[in-house]
Structure 1
Amino acid sequence: MNLSDALFDYKHIWHPYSSMIKPLPCYSIISAKGVYLTLKNGQKLVDGMSSWWSAIHGYNHPVLNRALKKQIQKMSHVMFGGITHPSAIALCRKLIQLTPSKLDCVFLSDSGSISIEVAMKMIIQYWNSLGQNRKKFLTILNGYHGDTFAAMSISDPNNSIHQIYNNFLPKNFFAQSPVSSFHSSWNKNDLVSFKKIIEKHSLQIAGVILEPIVQGVGGMNFYHPTYLKKIKKLCDYYHIPLIFDEIATGFGRTGKIFAFEHANVIPDILCLGKAITGGTITLAATLTSRNIADRISNSKPGCFMHGPTYMGNPLACSVAYANIKILQSNEWQNQVLHIERQLYKNLLPLREHPRVIDIRILGAIGVVECSQIINIAMMQKFFVEQGVWIRPFKKLIYIVPPYIISTYALKQLTNAIKKALNKKFLFI
């Protein structure tokens, strides 16, 4: 960007997780195509983040672009209250086809954290319809569910992102997160903390909410599928609804279309976002069972009390429908498997590096946990110089590339990580 634009951005635009006094450096992207982001100076960067997990088919995908262009010629938006339209109907039909048959009621919203808020409100209203005033939720530590208030209340209370708000948030129950990793043996002691809490407070708990298999911003941990199976059994025993947050993992990222499929369990409510539109425009969905929907609808006030202005946005619905059709061609399965195999080949050897604590790989997710805090601004600059876009946080360098990435481009990402580990000045 030119000096005037850069100065304006620096002084006036507040970027996520950044300061207005000493903001993290920003890089001006003027276009994006495939797996490449193009800087103002013409340099191309291999995108290792899929724009925070969302651009699974890369950028400027012709099928997704056509869907947007076709829809915008009809209407870009119309309110969803008292109105419906073909794009929303087609998308919801696809979502119901793609998910377990139990989840046959769809509530559309405009971002992942709002889909979590919607799920929590559904559960509270569900219990109210049964004459029970349950308002507490049970989850596990190291979780992250978004930056809106209810979503923050079920995210790890000691997470530095949300810690400052702790005194304002509702108090929920937090069990210890499982230590059995996805690829290790199951340790039955992982269930002890959760089981104690649900046994003691079963009549207070409105719902259980988890990120299935992959804990995202809370630490990029991959836990054992048996944990989900055990949690589901406990929820069924105590008749407590189970919510899965698949906002980051949904639509193939872990090697299954949804991460909960690794455990072969079905939630009562499912939250989707991020990759739902292939990274083109914001949209989210909360799917629930007919039982929960009917309970809410048959009691005062006789409806679900939520209605985002841009709910069911036609542009977002049309491109989400096209995105799911691409997924249903099943190319993503081979693409994700290819990424996983290459990550094992190129990242796993870094486990022996003196600055590395652990390497974690699952599907199209690669995580390098370092022994030192990362200097984010310096490492970001280093990665740009290497021709890649990777955004680390805390002690973690992770990549979630678009599924269409080539062997060559993926190797650029892993080589850049390898080089970064050898630079002392990139760590604090």
Structure 2
Amino acid sequence: MDIFDQQHIWHPYAKVPNPIVAHKVQSADGVCLNLDNGKRVIDGMSSWWSAIHGYNHPVLNKAITKQLAKMSHVMFGGLTHQSAIDLAKTLVAITPDNLTKVFFTDSGSVAVESALKIALQYWHNKGEKNKQKFITIRAGYHGDTFGAMGICDPDNGLHQLFCGVLPQHYFVKSPSTVTMDEALKDLEATLKQHSNAIAAMILEPVVQGAGGMLFYNPQYLSKAKALCEQYQVLFILDEIATGFGRTGELFALEYVNLEPDILCLGKALTGGYMSLGTTLTSDKISSTVGTLMHGPTFMANPLACAVANASIELLLNSPWQDNIARIEKHFYRALSPLKENDKVADVRILGAIGVVEMVDDIDVEKTQNQLIENGVWLRPYGKLLYTMPPFNITDDELSTITNAIKAVI
């Protein structure tokens, strides 16, 4: 424990002083974190979805070191560089065919902010200046910046405190909590009544992350997109958490081969090495938007772009589908039986995501200490004990994670 850290540094969703000790990491390698107390723990969180190749990877280290020798950063206003060009080419090649324009940001939340601004500018330039609202499903999460907070679940999300000052948008039933038919009826009724005020619909495809680690039928995406087209509402997908293989498809939209109007990416984009986000859109939208009034200082950071290029190449040249299938199979075998435990409300598994929802709230500090004693790092919240490990994790390391979860329960 570092006393200065505990007394002076704000950690995510925590107070200062922090009553829950933050465990100090000395180094990281493979899929493990080395703590300053000598404990070596498997990171079952991939540093919040991002470190899909684990830590201290020689290929990624080399890419970032090579770029560092050239330049660490250069402004993107009036300048460009090869790492950004190469990354944009790759993203255009691996995402749906309609997505041909790339806007770089410095984080996933800002990628969402950019998407919202693109949608608003699009309708403004088409003379539809009343289209200033957004529609989304409940139990969603899209980031912690102000625009993103406004489209997170207003009742059960992380930002209830700010509801009084956030823009008011439209929230409809989620297919993760009601039947798909009921969710679609609610969406259509809301669009029918308010589409003249709605610029776009935004969704996390298939997996709703921080809003509850909930999964839903991918067919909802196709049907929701059709309704949005019918009522002239743009369709934005937030794949910041789901992108780059986590669900078993390279992008979750591939479950139904859907082409969104706007796509947000982040987290695993750089393999967890640097903060970087991207917002992709179509020729039709970019030509209407024209000059996008947005320009983060560190957009298209060369180090981040270089390591993103290396991370994507490393992923695509690996047997990642086999690895995800192997992880999913292990989770089904090891975690599904926990449904029979009286303390467990549900177990949900998709790709390299394993979720155990408890009946009661979890004592975070006690649970984390137990997990560390069992050689594992997880970050539970609310009633959720979940894991999304790096894709290169071994079967033995997977067993360590699932055995630790069982021991805690």
**How many residues are paired up?**
408
Kept in 2, the 8 Å contact 1:32–1:38? The answer is: yes
Paired residue type of 1:254: T
- Is 2:119 aligned against 1:123? yes
CA distance in 2, matches of 1:147, 1:229: 28
**Deviation at residue 180 of structure 1 after TM alignment:** 6.9
> What residue in structure 1 maps to residue 5 of structure 2?
9
> Which of 325, 331, 342 does residue 337 from structure 1 map onto?
325
Q: After the TM superposition, which residues 32-47 of structure 1 pair with which residues of structure 2 at under 5 Å, given as runs?
A: 32-47=28-43
> What residue in structure 2 maps to residue 417 of structure 1?
405
SS in 2 for 1:121: helix
CA distance in 2, matches of 1:392, 1:180: 21
> What residue in structure 1 maps to residue 389 of structure 2?
401
Runs of 4+ residues deviating >3 angstroms = none
SS in 1 for 2:11: coil
- Is 2:123 aligned against 1:146? no
Paired residue type of 2:298: Y
**Deviation at residue 189 of structure 1 after TM alignment:** 2.3
- Is 2:49 aligned against 1:53? yes
Query: Structure 2: which 5+ runs fail to align?
Result: none
TM-score when scaled to structure 2? 0.98
> Which of 143, 164, 167 does residue 164 from structure 2 map onto?
167
> What residue in structure 1 maps to residue 74 of structure 2?
78
Q: After the TM superposition, which residues 279-298 of structure 1 pair with which residues of structure 2 at under 5 Å, given as runs?
A: 279-297=272-290
> Which of 360, 382, 390 does residue 372 from structure 1 map onto?
360
**Deviation at residue 16 of structure 1 after TM alignment:** 0.7
CA distance in 2, matches of 1:238, 1:276: 33
CA distance in 2, matches of 1:180, 1:140: 10
**Deviation at residue 77 of structure 1 after TM alignment:** 0.1
Kept in 1, the 8 Å contact 2:30–2:57? The answer is: yes
Query: Structure 1: which 5+ runs fail to align?
Result: 298-302, 422-428
> What residue in structure 1 maps to residue 311 of structure 2?
323
Kept in 2, the 8 Å contact 1:180–1:224? The answer is: no
CA distance in 1, matches of 2:357, 2:108: 26
- Is 2:62 aligned against 1:66? yes
CA distance in 2, matches of 1:58, 1:21: 31
> What residue in structure 1 maps to residue 132 of structure 2?
135
CA distance in 2, matches of 1:325, 1:406: 21
Kept in 1, the 8 Å contact 2:32–2:40? The answer is: yes
**Deviation at residue 408 of structure 1 after TM alignment:** 0.6
**Deviation at residue 202 of structure 1 after TM alignment:** 1.1
SS in 2 for 1:168: coil
CA distance in 2, matches of 1:329, 1:316: 20
**Deviation at residue 296 of structure 1 after TM alignment:** 1.0
SS in 1 for 2:220: helix
- Is 2:226 aligned against 1:233? yes
Measured on the aligned residues, the alpha-carbon RMSD in Å equals 1.1
CA distance in 2, matches of 1:10, 1:180: 38
SS in 2 for 1:202: helix
TM-score when scaled to structure 1? 0.94
- Is 2:85 aligned against 1:89? yes
Structure 1 range deviating more: 119-128 or 16-25: 16-25
Kept in 2, the 8 Å contact 1:24–1:377? The answer is: yes
CA distance in 2, matches of 1:179, 1:265: 19
Q: Deviations over 1:172-208 (max 9, x none)?
A: 0000111479xxxx74223111111011111111000
CA distance in 1, matches of 2:349, 2:376: 19
CA distance in 2, matches of 1:207, 1:32: 41
Between the aligned residues of both structures, percent identity stands at 52
Q: Deviations over 1:146-195 (max 9, x none)?
A: 000000000000135200000110000000111479xxxx7422311111
CA distance in 1, matches of 2:17, 2:83: 44
> Which of 104, 118, 124 does residue 108 from structure 1 map onto?
104
Kept in 2, the 8 Å contact 1:109–1:115? The answer is: yes
> What residue in structure 1 maps to residue 195 of structure 2?
202
Kept in 1, the 8 Å contact 2:246–2:351? The answer is: yes
**Deviation at residue 263 of structure 1 after TM alignment:** 2.0
